[in-house]
Structure 1
Amino acid sequence: MQRNATTRHPILLVHGLFGFDRIGRFELFHDVKQALRDAGAQVFVPQLSATHDNEVRGQQLLTQIQRVLQGTGATRVNLIGHSQGALASRYAAALAPDQVASVTSVSGPNHGSELADSLRKALIPGRLAEHVAQDLATHFAHFLSLLSGQSALPQSAVAALNALTTEGVGLFNRKYPQGLPSVWGGQGAEQVNGVHYYSWSGTLQDDLIASLDPVQNLCRALSGHFVADQGQNDGFVGRFSSHLGNVIRSDYPLNHLDSLRRTNGFRQLSPDPIDLYTEHATRLQAAGL
């Protein structure tokens, strides 16, 4: 039976690092957007810089929120941010709480990522390796932006990396602490300045079928950079680093990219990650959001 998830306010799906709306026929949030629209929700995917810091991307998001409000006649929006998109969403909510009804962090590095810490240490500032990595990543981001029709957006891979380290997010959190837990691994305030805060995320699981998935293998390889969240991460973000507001669950059997997609072929995810978005839309609906 089709779930009714007609929320009071439009939903904006906010992409993270190297994200985009559409390239050709491929849409990053295709399954999520289609499922939410089928359930009755108004859904938009704002375009942000594929690589930049949280505040630059957050400011871009604020501009697009205003466009959605003007175009729909709505008074507020629900933000669902994947990965770094959660930080841009938090920034927008902190600066314009009258325009944001809720922020939902999906696999968001709300306390930074140990993977980013390892990459930052490997790239010594001012050395050739950093310049090469910066150029390659930034040119790739420009290429993605060109393909997705957003070539005018600024890109900075090093700014993005610095913004995702535990130190970088720590500085961000001092300015925008809304919804953060007061103790490590706890829950944060569910409502701050009229904005409702939610989060969910996953952790890597060991099983034979998953080991045949190249994305799972990539996440498994990257998980070796985690120390504090060893064995409790999705390959990119630690379990407890993802906590924000009302923590729905932070140990779904999903890697970092699983929370964006419905896998095809031999590997079936349970729960279906797309169902998590429609379930959440009904949660927002029940809260009058």
Structure 2
Amino acid sequence: MGTGCRTRYPIVLVHGLLGFVRLPGHSYWNGIDTALRRQGAEVYPVRLSGVHDNEALGAQLLERIAAIRTASGARRVNLLGHSQGGLSARYAAALRPDWVASVTTVATPNQGSEVADRLRDLLPPSGRRERLLARGFEGLARLMERLECAERGLSLPLDGAASLLALTSEGMAGFNARYPQGLPERWGGEGAGEVDGVRYYSWSGILQTRIDAAPGLDPGHVLCHQLARCFAREAGQNDGLVGRFSSHLGWVIRSDYPFDHLDVVNRCWGRRVGAVRPLGVFLEHLVRLAEAGL
């Protein structure tokens, strides 16, 4: 095991919407956690509710951080959150900055997702169609929970309707007013790199216009292309679910990697994503955190 990239504090990986740690034959982080450990990092992928609002997920994350602090003896942790997981991490850092050394959001809709906005337009609040969609998401999340190989038997609360609202531009405007740490002051800019002793970083990708593999080989990539049609403000500047500039937080490492929303966590299904590899981006960030004394 390498030690040259060992961080001072443990790495906590936080999944996004409909996330998990490990299903039979498949890991959410698809080798990222293993690769970080090989470099000497202490890594904890955590499981939160599959669908819920940002505050509820953040409160669950705080409970996980408390347990990790006890188990590891570390005073603080480095949070890396994919998609909605980045919002859970932001909440945790805002409430307990003394527990968090850094927050890194990866393809996170820090200003809301135009896909969620489109769904909200099509599904009026408390309407029948919204209830059906919410129940469908909750059912899928509960099924995945039963298949979960990590922490078997752990049942967490679900709220599909709250999850949808939390990811809209409107929902994120309220969230950002309460927890503004690291947000840019202008659209497309960078935010403060450090707030209350917590370092803030972000990165994301842009969906490539060419599907360079047969659709059946990477259904997630095809889905991202379909969802990209929901974008107007960031048309052509999104990963299929999150806009490039909406993802900006703190020090923006890069927001135009050639990754779709699933590529960014190494789920490329064997498809080429360019010279830059998602796993390499995580390993570079591990060095960055270590060099910063985090």
TM class by smaller structure: over 0.9
Distance 1:264 1:180 in 2: 33
Any gaps of 5 or more consecutive residues in structure 2?
Answer: none
Partner of 2:246: 241
Aligned residue among 184, 204, 224 for 1:219: 224
Give the aligned residue type for 1:288.
Answer: G
Distance 1:282 1:72 in 2: 21
Aligned residue among 139, 154, 157 for 1:154: 157
Any gaps of 5 or more consecutive residues in structure 1?
Answer: none
Q: How does 1:175-214 map to 2 (within 5 A)?
A: 175-207=178-210, 209-210=212-213, 212=215, 213-214=218-219
SS in structure 2 at match of 1:125: coil
SS in structure 1 at match of 2:46: coil
Aligned CA distance change for structure 1 residues 218 and 195 (closer, same or farther; 3 Å): same
Distance 1:150 1:17 in 2: 20
Moved more, 203-212 or 140-149: 203-212
| 8 Å CA contact 2:244, 2:255 repeated in 1 | yes
SS in structure 1 at match of 2:182: coil
Distance 2:164 2:223 in 1: 19
Distance 1:215 1:158 in 2: 23
Aligned residue among 261, 266, 279 for 1:274: 279
Partner of 1:10: 10
Moved more, 132-141 or 144-153: 144-153
Q: How does 1:62-211 map to 2 (within 5 A)?
A: 62-148=62-148, 149=152, 151-207=154-210, 209-210=212-213
Distance 2:99 2:8 in 1: 13
Aligned CA distance change for structure 1 residues 62 and 221 (closer, same or farther; 3 Å): same
SS in structure 2 at match of 1:19: coil
Give the aligned residue type for 2:281.
Answer: L
Moved more, 100-109 or 259-268: 259-268
| 8 Å CA contact 2:262, 2:268 repeated in 1 | no
Aligned CA distance change for structure 1 residues 150 and 256 (closer, same or farther; 3 Å): farther
Structure 1 residues 20-64: Cα deviation after superposition (integer angstroms, max 9, x where no partner): 111234221131101100111000011100000000000000000
Aligned CA distance change for structure 1 residues 59 and 180 (closer, same or farther; 3 Å): same
Aligned CA distance change for structure 1 residues 26 and 216 (closer, same or farther; 3 Å): closer
Distance 1:62 1:127 in 2: 33
When normalised by structure 1's length, the TM-score is 0.96
Structure 1 residues 131-182: Cα deviation after superposition (integer angstroms, max 9, x where no partner): 2111111111111112213542001111110000000011000000000000
Give the aligned residue type for 2:67.
Answer: R
SS in structure 2 at match of 1:44: strand
SS in structure 2 at match of 1:30: coil
Partner of 1:265: 270
| 8 Å CA contact 1:106, 1:200 repeated in 2 | yes
Aligned CA distance change for structure 1 residues 134 and 164 (closer, same or farther; 3 Å): same
SS in structure 1 at match of 2:79: strand
The count of aligned residue pairs is 288
Q: Give the C-alpha shift of residue 4 in structure 1.
A: 3.2
Partner of 1:51: 51
